[in-house]
Structure 1
Amino acid sequence: MIAKLVVILAFFALPVSADDVARLVYLGIEADPYYEPEPLYTGLSLKDRHRPVEGARMALRDARVLGRALGVAFDLEEVLVPAGGASAALENLRAPRPLAILLDLPPDEMRAVLATRVESDLFINIRDRSNHWRGADCAPALLHAVPSYTMLSDALAQHLRAQGWEKVLLLHGPAEGDVEQADAARTSAEKFGLDMVDERVFELTNDPRRRDRSNMALLTGGVRHDVVWLIDEQGDFGRYLPFATYDPRPVVGSEGLTPMAWHWTFERYGAPQLNQRFRKFADRDMSSEDWAGWVAVRAVMDAVSAVGGTDPTAVDTTLVSDELSVDLYKGVRGNFRGWDGQLRQPILLATHNAVIAVAPLEGFEHQFDTLDTLGADRTESQCNR
C-alpha cells in the first residue's frame, strides 16, 4: 500500500508564474527515533539532533537572486512518511520529476529506496556517513553531501601525523557505529603511517568483574602512546575521558579534537557570514548536518545555473560531472566524485568552540586533487557504479 505522505511545506524562491520550476524533494521519516532525545538515567540528553532540512530551506531562500536572473522558481517539497514507507512514497514523488531527492533516512529505509529506484531518480544523502554506501552498497543514482567516516578519520590521521603524534591508542565502544568508525580509524592510521599501538573496547557497566572495561585509567594505561583516539557515538563514556587518562595525553575523535563537515566558529572563507545567516534563519548554530542540507541544494542550484534551465536530464548530468564547481565556504570549490558519488570537501578539525585546522593539510599531496587524500580514492573504492 502506498504510504500516506505528510507534506510539511514547500519553499519558493520565486512565484509559481516563473518560466521554469526547479523542484527538489526532502524525504524523511515521521517521528524518526534518530531525532528524538536520548535521555540518560539522570535526565541528561547528550545528542541534540535537528533535521538537516533547515539548511536546505536556507539555501532555497538564498536562491532568490539566481532564480530571478534565470527565470526559475526553486521549490523544495518536504515529505515525511511513516516508518517503512519511504520506498512506497517514491512513485508519488516522481511526478513532476524532481531534480534531486534529498535523503534523510535511517539505513533500512535508504536500502529500500535504492532497491526501488528507477533510471530518472537522483538521490543526495544528507545524513548517513557509513562507508558502505560509498562502497559495496553504492548506487549510480546516489550522491553524498555528508562526508564519510573514512573522510573524517583521514582528516584526523593527517593532523596526528603532522603533529608527530604517531603512537595512537584506539579506544572505542561496542556499538555498531563505534565498530564501523574504529575500522575507518585503523584504515586511516595505516594510510598515513600512524602506529596503532593498541586497541581497547570500553563498556559502561557497574559489574565489578568487568571494571577494566569502564575504568579510564586502566583503559588508557600500560602502553606507551602519544594520543588517545576515542570513538564513542553515544557520548556517555567519552565525555569523562579528557583529563582522566592514565598519562597526560590529548584525546581526539569523539571528544577533544573532532573532525566534522562544519563548525559554528569557523572564521574563514565567508563562513562567518554563512553561520550568521543560518543563526538568524533557524535561531541556532549551524551543524554539519545543516551544512549538508544547505550544500546539497547549492549543488543543484549551481547545476541549474550552468545548464541555464531546469531540464532534469541536463541538470543531473551536470551534477555528476567534473565541471560542477560548488562554493563550499571552506576555501575551495567542490564536486562529486565519479567513482562513489561523494562530495569532495575539506574537513574541519575542531574543539567545542574553535576550529584548529582544516584538512587536507599542507604536505599531503595527490596526483590529481588534494581533496582526494580524504576518503576512498578511485583505486581504493569498492564501489562498482
Structure 2
Amino acid sequence: MRISLGLLLRATLGSFAALVAASAFAATNVRIAHLELETDSRYDETKLFFRGLAQPLGRPFAGAEVALREARFVGQAVGAEFALERVTGADAKALLAAIDRLNKEGVRYFLLDAPGAVVAEVAKAVRGKELLLFNVSAPDDALRQAQCQPNLLHTLPNDAMRMDALAQYLVSKKWRNVLMLEGPRPEDKLVADAFDRAAKRFGLKLVERRPFVLSNDPRQRDQGNVALLTAGSEHDVVFVADSDGEFARSVPYRTVRPRPVVGGEGLAAAAWSWAWERHGAPQLNSRLEKHAGRKMADPDWAAWMAVKAVVEAVVRTQNAPFGTVAKYLKGEEIALDGFKGNRLGFRAWDNQLRQPVLLATHNAVIERAPIAGFLHPTNNMDTLGFDQRDSRCAF
C-alpha cells in the first residue's frame, strides 16, 4: 500500500500537535490540597452522635469532593483540569511539612480543616509563599483580627458574624433582655464574648452571664441545673454559649420561665442548614447527602465554597498565572454563588467571605441575616462581623 507523503506529513504534524496539546493540558493541572489533623476532637464520634446545632456532622472533605465533581467539566474551556488531594497530619508541624512539599510540586491552593490555634500557626509560617490557604472550620475571631494573614482566606463565617446575625434577630423580635449561660471551655468564652460584643452593637441588654458546668461530680450538680441557672432573672430569651453542645441540648423546655433558647441550641446562627430550601440549596444538600451519607453542615459548605472559589477564579482569569488568579479571587469583581441568594466575595480588610447567615432550628430555617432594616452604607452583609472600621487586621 502506498501512502501519500502529504498525508504522512499531516498525520505526523497532527500527532505532534496533539502531543503538544496534551503536554500543555497536563502542565495546567490545577491541584487543590485539603489538610486535616489525624485526631481532631471536634469530630469525636460521641459528639457527632448528639448532633447538636453547634456541631459539625463529619469531616468537611466531603464538601470539597462535591465541589470538585461539579467542576469536572468547567475548566476544559480554559485548558485546566482540577484535582483534589487529601493530606492528614499529626499536628501543625506535619501540616507545614506537607504544604512545603506540595507547594514545591506546584500546588497553590490549600483547604485547612483545623482548630484556630493550628490555623494561626500554619498561616503565620507560610506567610510570603506563593499559595493561598482557605480556613474552612475555625470560627475564631482572632484569625480575622490580630492573627490575620494576607494569604489566609475564610469561607466559614466567624463568631462575630454569627452572633451579629442572632442579635439582629432578637432585636427584630423585641427580645432585648438576654440571660447568658456560659460554659467553662475556652471556646465557650470566645462565643460568649462575641455575643457580648453583638449585644452592645445592636442594643441588647445582657442581664447576667451565669457559668454552667456539666459534671458527674455531686458537688457541681447545681451548676448544671437548668432550673436553678434560669431562676431569679427577668429576661426575654436565654442565650447558651456552649461550643460542645452537650449541655445546650438540655436547656429548652427546662427553663423556669417559658422563654426561647438561642445560641448553642434552639435557634442557632449558621453558615448552612440542610433545611435551607431556596436558591438551589435542596440540590446541593442532596448531592452531599448522596456522596457522604449524611446531611450538610457548616464546614462542609465552607469547604465546598472554597473549592468553588478557586474554580471560579481560575476560569474567569482564563487559567492565568497564580498571581493573577489570587488577585481576582480576593478582588471586588468576583461573584460567587453560595446558594444563599447573594453575590459573595472576600472582604479586602480581613479576607473573610462576605455572606448571609442562616438562623435555623434542627429542621427549619427561620430567618436569613442580615435582617431587613439593618442597613450598611455599601453592603448590608457588612452589618455582620467586623466592618472595615472595626478591623484590627494589618496585612
Q: Which residue of 1 aligns with 2:59?
A: 51
Q: Would you say 1:61 and 2:50 are equivalent positions? A: no
Q: Residue 93 of structure 1 aligns to a residue in which SS? A: helix
CA contact (8 A) 1:99 1:315 kept: no
Q: Partners in 2 of 1:272 and 1:288 — Cα distance?
A: 15
Match for residue 375 of structure 2 among 358, 365, 378 = 365
Shift of 1:246: 0.8
Q: Are the equivalent residues in 2 in contact too, given 1:26–1:101 (CA < 8 A)?
A: yes
* Alignment counterpart, residue 111 of structure 1, candidates 90, 102, 120: 120
- Per the alignment, residue 204 of structure 1 pairs with 214
Aligned match for 2:312, one of 302, 321, 325: 302
- What is the rounded CA distance, in whole Å, between the counterparts of 1:167 and 1:16 in structure 2? 65
CA distance in 2, matches of 1:95, 1:265: 42
- 1:124-135 matches, within 5 Å, as 124-135=134-145
In the aligned structure 1, how far is the partner of 2:183 from the partner of 2:245? 10
Superposed displacement of residue 236, structure 1:
2.1
* Aligned-partner residue type, residue 354 of structure 1: A
Tell me if the contact between 2:119 and 2:135 (Cα under 8 Å) persists in the aligned partners. Answer: no
State whether structure 2 residue 171 is matched by structure 1 residue 161.
yes
Indicate the SS of the match to 2:354. Answer: coil
* Superposition deviation, residue 270 in structure 1: 0.9
Match for 2:25 among 15, 18, 22?
A: 18
Q: Note if contact 2:212-2:224 (Cα within 8 Å) is conserved in structure 1.
A: yes
Residue 331 (structure 1) aligned with residue 341 (structure 2): yes
8 Å contact 2:87–2:98 — kept in the other structure? no
Q: Which residue of 2 aligns with 1:30?
A: 38
Structure 1 residue 229, shift from structure 2 partner = 0.7
Q: Which stretch has the larger CA shift, 209-218 or 49-58? A: 209-218
8 Å contact kept, 1:347–1:360 = yes
> Which residue is 1:102 aligned to?
111
Residue of structure 2 equivalent to 1:81: 89
Amino-acid identity (%): 43
Contact kept in structure 2, 1:168 and 1:229, CA below 8 Å: yes
Query: Following TM superposition, by how much is the alpha carbon of 1:85 offset from its aligned partner in structure 2, in angstroms?
Result: 1.0
Is 1:290 equivalent to 2:300 in the alignment? Answer: yes
State the shift of 1:209 in Å: 5.0
Q: Note the C-alpha offset of 1:80.
A: 1.2
Letter in 1 for 2:96: S
Q: Conserved in 1, the CA contact under 8 Å of 2:57 and 2:296? A: no
Q: Match of 2:373, SS?
A: coil
Q: CA deviation at 1:367?
A: 0.3
Aligned CA distance change for structure 1 residues 44 and 105 (closer, same or farther; 3 Å): closer
Per the TM alignment, residue 305 of structure 1 is displaced from its structure 2 partner at its CA by 1.6
CA contact (8 A) 1:70 1:309 kept: yes
For 2:296 and 2:24, how far apart are their aligned partners in 1?
32
Cα distance in 2, alignment partners of residues 56 and 39 from structure 1: 22
Amino acid at match of 1:74: F
SS for the counterpart of 2:45 is coil
Equivalent pair of 1:27/1:86 in contact (CA under 8 Å): yes
Q: 1:195-251 CA distances to partner (integer Å, 9 max, x unpaired)?
A: 111111111235555444222112111111110011112222211110000111000
Equivalent residues of 1:130, 1:148 under 8 A apart: yes
Aligned residue runs from structure 1 range 187-202, under 5 A = 187-202=197-212
Residue type at the aligned position of 1:18:
F
Instruction: Please provide the CA RMSD for this pair.
Output: 2.0
Would the aligned equivalents of 1:30 and 1:80 in 2 still touch at CA under 8 Å? yes
Quick check: 341-350 or 71-80, which moved more?
71-80
Larger mean CA deviation between 60-69 and 325-334 belongs to: 60-69
Q: Deviations over 1:59-106 (max 9, x none)?
A: 111012312222210111211123341122222011233231111123
Give the counterpart of 1:149 among 155, 159, 162: 159
- Deviations 1:94-130 (Å, cap 9, x if unpaired)? 1233231111123343233123213312111011000
CA contact (8 A) 1:149 1:184 kept: yes
Q: Letter of the aligned partner of 1:95 in structure 2?
A: K
Please say if 1:269 is aligned against 2:279.
yes
Question: Quick one: structure 1 residues 237 and 53, their matched pair in 2 at CA, closer, same or farther if it must change by over 3 Å?
Answer: same
Bigger Rg, which one: 2
C-alpha separation in 1, matches of 2:387 and 2:295: 32
For residues 362 and 110 of structure 2, the distance between their equivalents in structure 1, rounded to whole angstroms, comes to: 32
Alignment check: 8 A CA contact 1:37 1:45 kept: no
- For 1:246, give the aligned amino acid: V
Structure 1 partner of 2:79: 71
Deviation at 1:21, TM superposition (A): 1.3
Assess if the C-alpha contact under 8 Å between 1:38 and 1:45 holds in 2: no
For 1:254, give the aligned amino acid.
Answer: G
TM-score normalised according to structure 1 size: 0.91
Structure 2 unpaired stretches of 5+: 1-21
Are the equivalent residues in 1 in contact too, given 2:279–2:340 (CA < 8 A)?
A: yes
Alignment of 1:211-230 (within 5 A): 211-230=221-240
Task: Between 245-254 and 217-226, report the one with greater CA deviation.
Answer: 217-226
Aligned pair count reads: 369
Distance 2:34 2:119 in 1: 13
8 Å contact from structure 1 (residues 22, 75) kept in 2: yes
| SS class of match (1:23) | strand
Query: After the TM superposition, which of the residue ranges 239-248 and 25-34 deviates more from structure 2?
Result: 25-34
The CA deviation at 1:193 is: 0.8
Closer/same/farther in 2, CA of residues 235 and 33 from structure 1, 3 Å limit:
closer
Amino acid at match of 1:205: S
The answer on whether the counterparts of 1:24 and 1:98 sit within 8 Å (CA) in structure 2 is: yes
- The 1:124/1:48 distance shift into structure 2, 3 A limit, reads closer
